[in-house]
Amino acid sequence: MQTNFSADFLATSSGSRANEILRSCVHCGFCNATCPTYQITGDELDGPRGRIYLIKELLETQTNVARATRHLDRCLTCRACESVCPSGVAYGELAEIARVHIGPKRRGLSGWIRILLRWVIPNPVRLRTLSRLGSAFRWVLPRRLAKQVPAQVGAPIQATDTTHARKVLLLNGCAQQVATADTNIHLISLLGKHDIGVVSVADEQCCGSLDLHLGAEDSALSTVRANVDALSRHLDDVEAIVSSASGCGVTIKDYGRLLSSDAEYAERAQRIAAKTVDVSEYLATAELHFAKHDDVQKVAWHPPCTLQHGQSITGLVEVLLEKAGYELTRVVDAHLCCGSAGTYSVLQPELAEELKQQKLGALLDGAPDVVATANVGCQTHLSYGCKVPVKHWIELLN
């Protein structure tokens, strides 16, 4: 793709990178075939190729900002397009540059919802308090909000192992420790049975993904730096930093890139990124053995986009579940997003609901006893209205 950026824009790190990414695109359109929003709307501008043209126009001419904003806001950033792109276009990074260029502010109700989401979700204390209030008053809330309230509100977990020779640093996450706290409780128990200790960090921050995806770069990088300060003190004491929420893991693995131009933080950020693994990667290399629950036989596995496309991890969870004795059902179009996508289910409820119904149809077609996934957003999104339990796959191994 040809570009025509100003010299001043090309002199910036984001301008240079955007130019590089755009020039790698060959307009083939393979990306549209795997894009969830394009499959629903049939609009070229709701597919990666169309959005790439919009981003190019936005960055080159600063025109049609409202149109670019509308179609970028509809993008899930599932990155399924990256998994099939023959040219290796870093679409997710390009969308991030464009969103930062547009900024986090929006007009009307959408703008206020964005402000609320950014104020509440990264702060577990606020999120826990409002979730408990929401649980008490769920019956009077609009359906759009009621289905976002966690079924159970978890308490914070502070693990400080002092007995095991092998240790990992387990990330609590912000939304996960409130909405699906059982995940890490099961994981701590599971690792303990295999003589692996767990430590957590009291001043762990949000990974920064929420602000980053909503275009609030300064706030996101401030959070990332705080997290680097909190985590780096423990790097030499643990085998790995383990994330059981794929949405957090994909961002923390990117800390090296996000802070590459920060002389004070770049080296530590890269070390943290290099030491961070998804829990499936850790368990696969640890060569542990597990047994299944007697009352569960058939499992429908939903790989989150942040796991299969963002981290390029495929097959590991499936192998671990099958080794434990579970039968995995066939799920068509497993590469497609469920519609959760962080805050997407709140900001784009109609598209998110349609994607969820399509995904549930595929997951339940094999009559599973349980649906398993690997991220808090997918788990809570799919749970609302699902006929069978939706669990983090770690629960099935403990």
Q: State pLDDT tens for residues 366-391.
A: 999 999 999 999 999 999 889 999 99
Decide if domain 289-396 falls under CATH 3.40.50.1860: yes
Whether the per-residue pLDDT at 104 is higher than 90: the answer is yes
Q: What angle do CA 386, 209, 90 make, to 5 degrees?
A: 100
Tell me if the domain spanning 7-102 has CATH number 3.40.190.10. no
- Kindly provide the b/e burial profile for residues 168-198, where b requires at least 16 CB atoms within 10 angstroms of the residue's own CB: bbbbbbbbbbbbbbbbbbbbbebbbeeebbb
390: nearest Cα among 373, 375, 376, 377? 373
| Residue range 2-57, pLDDT digits in tens | 999 999 999 999 999 999 999 999 999 999 999 999 999 999 999 999 999 999 99
pLDDT tens-digit series, residues 165-212 = 899 999 999 999 998 999 999 999 999 999 999 999 988 999 999 999
**In the chain, ranges of CATH 1.10.1060.10 domains:** 7-102
How high is the pLDDT of residue 310? 97
Report DSSP letters for 291-344, one per residue: ---TT--EEEE---HIIIIIS---SHHHHHHHHTTPEEPP-TTTTS--S-TTTH
CATH 3.40.50.1860 in the chain: give the residue spans: 289-396
